Chain A
């Protein structure tokens, strides 16, 4: 949702650490907005290993990435954080009044005295095949996602991949494409069986072609594709005419625009002090996998600790004239009221 929002803390990244930060900030009456490039909270936990078990969350003998995310969402519910999902943070600057402005690629602006970077290893972006010169075609005849299906009407499409996205788009684009060829390195698929069956049905009826091969090279001019070189597992190569290439190999993590924020980065990580987890830029904190300090371990449980200490320091920036009252949720009726349990 585009718009201008004023809050206490802007959190970049809605993974487990960003979510727990909402909780620790909430106990201190600090409100938060979260930005994430993914379309749902959870970060790596839900994107990479929703079904995989995690055994080292204190107090939980076993929890999956999805369950941990669901529990954290439940835990932060009383604090009503606002999520800006499917948005990429695109810029960070300081306003004349000293507050920060975090902007996203769809025009959202979050104004806050504190920014917390909980971005893990960065942004999830589509994997780009290592084909020479592919960047010249991107956005013109090579696409990693489908925004409007109609843009592909009448095209001669090559789709590469064997996962759900590759198969789903093969099935969905087949009726509107002029010609569609699915290219995959084996005659087996990671995708859902019913999608595979549907694709094989389309191939059997000549509605699509399926080639056991890989795309090795692109040929065309001015960003407009004319042919691709395909290679079979036994190294046979041939050219295939097409005007559109769509590689679907899932997502990978790239640091992305954080690199342009003017922060002091060291090997793509943000050095912080271990008392406050603040970067060398006052008011900008970094917690979770994105930060570095002597002894750092990339563990979710360490990120939780970092979030708690960050929140204490953020309070002093957001409420410079107030005294921070340190309380325990076990005994404090005011904390329990905030949590909706008293």
Chain B
């Protein structure tokens, strides 16, 4: 599966996703500037991404923990998600995300 990620300069990267990995891990291992301070524990809100509108419905819904943690993210929009909470899988082939500003 592919993940199409836009970085903070507006540059687009096509990344190879891995089933069962979080989108944060894919972005991080590709060397994109995702901070992910807490390492994926849904405890810091520094892996904030915007998900392209047509993909929102296909993601599993936010947990209460993620919704709460997004209160600590900057510039939250209705399509904001924490990328450590999105798990890669065949349904998400082509997922488009944009790394939020920090």
Contact = CB atoms under 8 A, between A and B. Distances in A.
A191 B68 CA distance: 8
B74 A48 contact: no
Contacts of A188: 67
A48 B41 contact: yes
Interface in B70-89: 70-78
Interface in A167-208: 184-186, 188-191
A107 interface: no
Interface residues on B, range: 20 to 34
A185 B69 CA distance: 12
B52 to A, nearest CB: 17
Interface residues of A, number: 26
B43 A52 contact: yes
Given A233-B77, A250-B45, A252-B46, A44 B72 contact: no
B49 to A, nearest CB: 14
By secondary structure, the B interface counts as loop
Contacts of B71: 161-163, 184-186, 189-191, 249
A130 B72 contact: no
A233 to B, nearest CB: 5
A253 interface: yes
Given A185-B76, A190-B68, A233-B77, A252 B43 contact: no
B41 A249 contact: no
A129 interface: yes
A121 interface: yes
B72 A214 contact: no
Interface of A: 44, 48-49, 52, 121, 127-130, 161-163, 184-186, 188-191, 214, 233, 249-250, 252-253, 298
